[in-house]
Chains A and B, each alone.
Chain A
């Protein structure tokens, strides 16, 4: 089974202690050879044989090696290895995507001759005060420390403006998803028949900054960026949502209390203790590198992956046994099955 980041974090701890680099095994095959291999294969940098030659034999080995930022197929940068817990996670376009980098060079780095057309109008940053609603993963863009309110006041704000859709305790309402965990289903599951896990701020969101950014940017859904809430109100609401998710503020496990004045400083403390932060990793695709087989293909490419073409899943059927079809009166309107819970 796919198991990457958790194992890797454990591995990183061990290797850090022993003083060696994370996944040093990559450097032998990830050296200058890869450019030649890709070139020799007509630039086909995702060809199964090329990927295999550069990264190793099986899918799992390939996958693990991709978490090394020096690997040509890695989307990771050094920052990303720690996930969000210790900073703002970044990813990059892998070096092996040679055509992208060639274009970037030509369109940007090697364009010494560019001279402005002069069609725009200069504008001062200060003139954009009302437009700059951006708070990033580093906390850039947060309001000054005197902007905020007690978590208790924030809760009142929340009940007034948010609870109609999200429930008083973040349990969700009217089809809108919960914000907080009650008894959430575990995120880790490979059970085909288990319902999809519910993703909440507490068990899924990697950044607390996102919560403030998004609340102020787009909430309440019907009247976003609302003056009646204001920056202080959005800060208070953010504090209450983090409290309902039991987000800690330090290693000692200090919790967010009703009487705490919730401001940017508190938010950035909470940002370091988002429970799921360390579980995010950069895009690792493609993981599957198949051959283009045409005749008598091996079993893993056939049917259910064992060569069996007799067992397959079908959609629900109409009472007369016919499959559902895309005709108005035949569209199934019952709630979705497992595996999906809205966007």
Chain B
């Protein structure tokens, strides 16, 4: 098409860097004094819309005068229905993928992929981009053969087919699933420049299924049953210990995500959903729930998924994911396109309830500005936030900080590191910092992951 259009937002490429430089050479006016806020709301309500004033920022900008060519799509028929019985994204979205870091694990069957948060919009993760975490490889289970059994400290051990489970009252909830190792590589400093690597071990979808409390009551759970041991039908026989309080609070046995059956990567045909808690507890391919008087002490709750403190003690059974947030734009996958007005966008979430506020700093934490919440605000779900600001081209240190409905305020990394050390691995839920390189610096407009 035309190369005269300067895109406001571009994935970091050589081309976009050059575009940024061109915009600069064209002489965008620099504003002195850091970040300015566009006070749209402060305008008097009595003032009418002024078309000339509204377009003023375009004055002096070069106009496209070449006649726009017509596209091929206007000159030929498109394809018929059912060309794609199950629809796929546009081929031009091919770079929006789950990705992994091969050095993280010795093999791919006990490994993880990350969701490309930098390319997502809204609060729902498409099923094909939901992060994967396997402990014994992905599997396809025939739902006709799959069973769920609830036994142990119950009056009446019961076994359910998939059809049985779908007859029960159902519930649909939008909930994030977050690996407690999300951000694990960044305890001693930063390693990677992408929000996909720093926060991509999580996703947020609509889960549909049966309340676990319903099934436990169905089997007549006994008062001495204090722990549930959910177990998967995969090679790892994944299992955890879930206390009765969490089980009866809001756990679900999910058979659907975003309106369709669970994907194999997410535990088809059923998985446990423990809202707001470590996704490691959300046992996939769920086959058996043993009601017990004591916890299992599985390898994944003793040797792994426990947090080593600097004095050598270890925190375990840390179920809840703490309030967290991240700015997805601008973030290291993007580049600033010269001074001007920007809309910072991001995601906030809390394992303990709703997001109450998200604030953004541009100066490394001294002053904060409240962002607007731009999606539905649901408990234990991603919440979208945005904040408009005018960038004068000087260096910025941007961070987002969420406050959840319990009153918990997300801390900075130095505070978290002081208490929890650097070998903790899990639950690194402190803020991250994006450094926006000054427009006229050698890395002008680049966005870099830095850590105090």
- By a beta-carbon cutoff of 8 Å, the part of chain A in contact with chain B is 1-6, 41, 43-50, 59, 63, 75, 84, 88-93, 97, 99-101, 103-104, 107-108, 111, 114, 116-117, 119-125, 128, 131-134, 136-138, 140, 174-176, 186-193, 196-197, 199, 201, 204-207, 209-210, 213-214, 217-218, 221, 224-225, 276, 279-297, 300-305, 307, 309, 311-316, 321-327, 331-340, 342-343
Answer whether A5 and B187 are a contact pair too, CB < 8 Å, given A311-B452, A325-B193. Answer: no
The reply to whether A187 and B308 contact each other, CB–CB distance below 8 Å, is yes
When distances are taken between beta carbons in the complex, the residues of chain A under 8 Å from B418 are: 1, 305
Interface of A is mostly: loop
Is B375 part of the binding interface, using a Cβ–Cβ cutoff of 8 Å?
Answer: no
Docked Cα-Cα span, A101 to B244, in Å, equals 11
What are 16 sample pairs from A and B whose C-beta atoms fall under 8 A apart? A2-B420, A50-B407, A91-B243, A132-B290, A138-B294, A176-B106, A281-B316, A285-B427, A289-B409, A292-B401, A303-B397, A305-B415, A314-B189, A326-B194, A326-B196, A333-B102
For the complex of A and B, list the 5 residue pairs with the smallest distance between their C-beta atoms, beginning with the closest.
A47-B407, A188-B312, A44-B407, A175-B106, A305-B414
Please indicate the chain B residues that have their CB under 8 angstroms from the CB of A99 in the complex.
353
Q: Tell me if B188 and A339 are in contact (CB < 8 A).
A: yes
Closest residue on chain A to residue B223 by CB atoms:
A109
Contact of B193 among A187, A188, A221, A315 (CB under 8 A): A315
Q: Is B303 an interface residue (CB 8 A)?
A: yes
Chain A residues with CB below 8 A from B320, complex form: 283, 285
Q: Contact mask B11-25 → A, CB, 8 Å, 1/0?
A: 011000000000000
- Quote the shortest CB–CB distance from B247 to chain A (angstroms): 9
Residues of B within 8 Å of A, CB-based: how many? Answer: 137
Known pairs A204-B303, A291-B409; A217 contacts B236 (CB<8 A): yes
Query: Distance in Å from the Cβ of B411 to the closest Cβ of chain A?
Result: 4
Cβ-closest chain A residue relative to B194: A326
Please measure, in the bound complex, the distance between the C-alpha atom of A233 and the C-alpha atom of B426, giving whole angstroms: 34
A193 and B189 alpha carbons, distance in the complex (Å): 10
Q: Are A294 and B368 in contact (CB under 8 A)?
A: yes
B390 at the interface (CB under 8 A from A): no
Q: Quick one: given A119-B164, A302-B366, are A224 and B193 in contact (CB under 8 Å)?
A: no
B296 at the interface (CB under 8 A from A): yes
**Pair B451/A313 contact, Cβ less than 8 Å:** yes
User: Which of chain B's residues have a CB closer than 8 A to the CB of A325?
Assistant: 12, 193-194, 332-333
Q: Tell me whether A205 and B303 are in contact (CB under 8 A).
A: yes
A289 neighbours in B (Cβ, 8 Å): 408-409
Residues in chain B near residue A290, CB distance under 8 A? 409, 411, 415
Contact check, B433 vs A312: say whether CB atoms are below 8 A apart. Answer: yes
Given A210-B302, A281-B314, 18 more A-B residue pairs with CB atoms under 8 Å apart are A47-B407, A89-B295, A92-B243, A120-B219, A131-B149, A136-B229, A140-B292, A190-B422, A206-B302, A207-B297, A283-B317, A295-B367, A296-B366, A303-B364, A305-B412, A326-B332, A339-B188, A340-B184
Chain B residue numbers with a CB within 8 Å of A283 are 315-320
Which of B149, B243, B302 is A128 in contact with, Cβ under 8 Å? B149
A136 — which chain B residues lie within 8 A by C-beta? 229, 292, 294-297
Residues of A near B187 (CB, < 8 A) are 339-340
Of the residues A122, A189, A213, A303, contact of B156 by C-beta under 8 Å: A122
Indicate whether A285 sits within 8 Å of B160 (C-beta atoms), given known contacts A104-B245, A280-B316: no
Verify A218–B237 contact, CB threshold 8 A: yes
B365 → chain A closest CB, angstroms: 4
Contacts of A59 in B (CB 8 A): 419
